[in-house]
Amino acid sequence: MNKEEIKKILPHREPMLLVDEIEIDDQKVAHAKYKVKGDEFFLQGHFPDYPVVPGVILCEIMAQSSCIIIQEALIGRTPFYAGIDKVKFKKQVRPHDVVEVKARIINQKGLVFFVEGVATVDNEICAKAEMIFALVDNDKIEK
């Protein structure tokens, strides 16, 4: 799935769309990629002379990658973080790195999904987390 196909599923748009491509395998595991270009807004001040992708952005990359797995449940709904546990940051992510994410659902209770995500660069773990998403019907979101 390319970026244009991803936009048909996720509500995110640039500059916050942080998935370039994704595939879902037969075991319902998401395999996603995001290339850090170096000109992203979050690198401008983090840090000016030594740009490093902030940990919260790595969590967002994993979250967006995770939500593709639940694309059928997303129809007419928006995913919101409901929690994040067991977060670990293991390696810095810098401009021109390609972040690869593997994500899988570990539990579901109604419209609440529990997902495990692991992000790597060059086959080394840079971040991992257990994330919780609650899906909210779009007609219940005040605009």
46 noted as active-site residue: yes
Of 12, 31, 46, 96, catalytic? 46
Beta carbons of 129 and 89 less than 8 angstroms apart: no
CB-CB contact of 46 with 56 (8 Å): no
Residue among 3, 4, 54, 53 at smallest CA distance from 33? 3
Q: CB neighbours (10 Å) of residue 22?
A: 24
Contacts of 21 (CB under 8 A, 6+ apart): 1, 2, 3, 6, 32, 33
Q: Which residues are catalytic?
A: 46
